[in-house]
Chain A
Amino acid sequence: KAGVTQTPRYLIKTRGQQVTLSCSPISGHRSVSWYQQTPGQGLQFLFEYFSETQRNKGNFPGRFSGRQFSNSRSEMNVSTLELGDSALYLCASSAGQGADQPQHFGDGTRLSIL
């Protein structure tokens, strides 16, 4: 069974640009969550989608947005990039909502802002 796939693996952008990251969950998984990992703040929850609806949102500015498609694939978008957005962005999928379904993570997209 293929794991969670995130593309691209690495991305370099400049301040002010926008970026879109993609996540394909494990087949059959309907819930997708996104996390940001930085050396200073650690792992922080961004948002969670289930059945194309955002179910939960972390404390991030509106520049961070996401969506989920009918095939459960998800994208997150960051607009007007800032230096502080440099991070590893991790996507996780689970079979259903709620923590009774463990989240399985992808390898992440490493975003660098110049």
Chain B
Amino acid sequence: AQKVTQAQTEISVVEKEDVTLDCVYETRDTTYYLFWYKQPPSGELVFLIRRNSFDEQNEISGRYSWNFQKSTSSFNFTITASQVVDSAVYFCALSPYTGANSKLTFGKGITLSVRP
């Protein structure tokens, strides 16, 4: 069975602060994909990043960076110099890597509020 834990439920920061969103996962698969999605108040889930399990290189995209550590089963997401527009619910998700199964298992989500 697959499981994603996002222990933080709500985080509030002041604009320009850095913030890290934690994600810990459990899976018996040796290969898998990890994802982060953003859900603004409109409801649509916006795809942010996908990482496969055999690529542990950290990734940076503008103000966003992701730290994948297979040894601790974690895939953390950092927003540098946060902005009000970053306010949303952020979901970490896990899916099998092989075969036709693309079912996503989501964490409960972290509500991020960025205050001006």
Where the two chains meet, the residues of A that have a C-beta atom closer than 8 Å to any C-beta of B are 3, 31, 33, 35, 42-45, 48, 50, 55-56, 58, 88, 90, 92, 94, 97-108, 110
- Assess whether A103 is in contact with B96, with CB atoms less than 8 Å apart: no
Interface of B is mostly: loop
Query: Using Cβ atoms and an 8 Å threshold, which residues of chain B touch A35?
Result: 104, 106
Known: A42-B108, A102-B35. A33 touches B102 (CB 8 A): yes
Interface residues of B in 27-48 (CB under 8 A from A): 33, 35, 37, 42-47
Chain B interface bracket (under 10, 10 to 19, 20 to 34, 35 or more):
20 to 34
* B66 vs chain A, min Cβ distance (A): 15
Say whether B97 faces chain A, with CB atoms less than 8 Å apart: yes
- Assess whether A90 is in contact with B103, with CB atoms less than 8 Å apart: no
Query: Using Cβ atoms and an 8 Å threshold, which residues of chain A touch B98?
Result: 98
Say whether B87 faces chain A, with CB atoms less than 8 Å apart: no
Task: Say which residue of B97, B99, B102 sits within 8 Å of A103 (CB atoms).
Answer: B102
